[in-house]
């Protein structure tokens, strides 16, 4: 078993390397892959010193699995080339998510859809992953009619330069501006690019990807994405209208029983999820679960997760684990 990580020197790629080590994935070789400017660099991984190689070299090594986190352009060009030599690609970009011929996978929900012929598998957007996992039991048991989503997304979701912008502003140091405005002491209702509809691309991903993962195009969804001055961890306030009546305690039990989800919901002792405590953890945390008294069969909840781990790297590695366990690679 050879596993390549494409984008190994990037922010998410680095977390992928950590998760592969932590989860003790058995492999003959790990192949770190990056752009030409990083070829030849050495990285330390699992008590080994590994040399970063380019995409063509990695392709010639024919790894069984290649996990991509190098942007949509690289994925569109190179994922089909790897697939053509028999490699199964798990892609963390937006390149293949809405391709009707590709599966969009959160393992706890729909990994069973995967087969040997799935050579390019899409990893969903970080904000989508945590929400669909937190709500998966509600969709299964009641059916979801409508979602109203407000996100509070950390700067690490934009990338390392956004983290540097926030840190520079806190130090009162002038530097590169990734966002159109300062992010420290501010909130930007702007995630991705604006569309003609008035929504942004990040907001539209929540709509399209949720429907695809659940296999239900009838779910009505609206979203507002906000970038906040938090280094890591995405938060979401979600209003859920269900198709059937429910009891709040029943809902809490369902959420608490969902694999990969931890219920933190005790207002009496100020227990609720926060990005500060979700960082570097693989679980999705849910709290503030309560009935919406203004709408029949509706409730509100608060969802938090580390966007670099379950929102990206961990989910991708879990897909790899599933493929290995089911002998699909």
Which residue ranges make up each domain of the chain? 2-124+312-325, 127-307
Candidate CATH numbers 3.90.1150.10, 3.30.360.10, 3.40.50.1000, 3.30.200.20; the one for domain 127-307: 3.30.360.10
Classify strands 42-45 and 65-68 as parallel, antiparallel or unpaired. Answer: unpaired
* Spatial distance between the Cα atoms of 143 and 162, rounded to a whole number of angstroms: 37
* Spatial distance between the Cα atoms of 284 and 261, rounded to a whole number of angstroms: 5
pLDDT (0 to 100) of residue 50:
97
Q: Quick check: is 234 catalytic?
A: yes
Residue 321 phi/psi, 5-degree rounding, is: -60, -45
pLDDT (0 to 100) of residue 63:
98
Residues 6+ apart with CB under 8 A from 35: 54, 70
Please check whether the domain covering 2-124+312-325 is classified as CATH 3.40.50.720.
yes
pLDDT (0 to 100) of residue 96:
98
pLDDT (0 to 100) of residue 210:
98
* Spatial distance between the Cα atoms of 289 and 57, rounded to a whole number of angstroms: 50
User: What angle do helix axes 201-214 and 126-141 make, rounded to 10 degrees?
Assistant: 40
**From the candidates 44, 187, 190, 234, which is the catalytic residue?**
234
pLDDT (0 to 100) of residue 118:
98
pLDDT (0 to 100) of residue 80:
98
Token digits of residue 283 = 């679980």
pLDDT (0 to 100) of residue 249:
97
Return the number of other C-beta atoms located less than 10 Å from residue 26's C-beta: 7
* Spatial distance between the Cα atoms of 288 and 301, rounded to a whole number of angstroms: 5
Q: Splitting the chain (329 residues) into consecutive groups of 10 residues, what average pLDDT does each group show? A: 97 96 94 95 94 98 98 97 98 97 98 97 98 98 98 96 97 96 98 97 98 98 98 98 98 98 98 97 98 98 98 98 97
Element (DSSP H or E) covering residue 204: helix 201-214
Residues 6+ apart with CB under 8 A from 6: 13, 33, 34, 55, 58, 66, 67, 68, 69, 70, 74, 78
The answer to whether the 2-124+312-325 and 127-307 domains have the same CATH topology is: no
Residue 262 phi/psi, 5-degree rounding, is: -120, 125
* Spatial distance between the Cα atoms of 83 and 65, rounded to a whole number of angstroms: 9
**Does residue 58 contact residue 85 with C-beta atoms inside 8 Å?**
no
Token digits of residue 270 = 């100020």
pLDDT (0 to 100) of residue 111:
98
Residue 192 phi/psi, 5-degree rounding, is: 85, -150
Q: Is 159 helix (H, G, I), strand (E, B) or coil?
A: coil
pLDDT (0 to 100) of residue 232:
96
pLDDT (0 to 100) of residue 107:
98
* Spatial distance between the Cα atoms of 288 and 223, rounded to a whole number of angstroms: 19
């Amino acid at each position: 078993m050879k596993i390549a990580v494409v984008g190994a020197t990037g922010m998410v790629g680095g977390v992928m390397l950590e998760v592969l080590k932590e989860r003790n994935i058995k492999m003959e070789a790990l192949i770190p892959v990056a752009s030409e400017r990083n070829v030849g660099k050495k990285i330390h991984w699992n008590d080994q010193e590994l040399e970063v190689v380019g995409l063509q070299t990695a392709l010639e090594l024919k790894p069984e699995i290649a996990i991509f986190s190098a942007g949509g352009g690289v994925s569109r060009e190179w994922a089909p080339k790897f697939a053509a030599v028999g490699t199964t690609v798990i892609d963390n970009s937006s390149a293949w998510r809405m391709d009707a011929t590709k599966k969009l996978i959160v393992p706890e929900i729909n990994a069973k859809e995967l087969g040997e012929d799935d050579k390019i598998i899409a990893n969903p957007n970080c904000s989508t992953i945590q929400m669909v996992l937190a709500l998966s039991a509600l969709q299964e048991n009641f059916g979801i009619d409508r979602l109203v989503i407000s996100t509070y997304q950390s700067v690490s979701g934009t990338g390392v330069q956004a983290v540097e912008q926030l840190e520079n502003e806190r130090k009162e140091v002038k530097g590169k501006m990734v966002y159109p405005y300062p992010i420290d002491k501010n909130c930007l209702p702007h995630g991705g690019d604006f569309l003609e509809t008035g929504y942004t691309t990040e907001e539209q991903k929540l709509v399209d990807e949720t429907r695809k993962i659940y296999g239900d195009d009838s779910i009505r969804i609206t979203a507002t994405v906000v970038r906040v001055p938090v280094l890591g961890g995405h938060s979401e306030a979600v209003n859920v209208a269900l198709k059937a009546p429910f009891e709040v305690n029943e809902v809490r039990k369902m959420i608490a029983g969902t694999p990969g989800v931890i219920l933190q919901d005790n207002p009496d002792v100020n227990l609720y999820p926060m990005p500060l405590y979700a960082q570097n953890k693989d679980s999705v945390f849910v709290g503030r679960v309560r009935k919406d008294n203004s709408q029949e069969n509706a409730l509100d909840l608060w969802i938090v997760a580390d966007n670099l781990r379950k929102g990206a790297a961990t989910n991708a590695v879990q897909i790899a684990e599933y493929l290995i366990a089911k002998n699909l690679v």
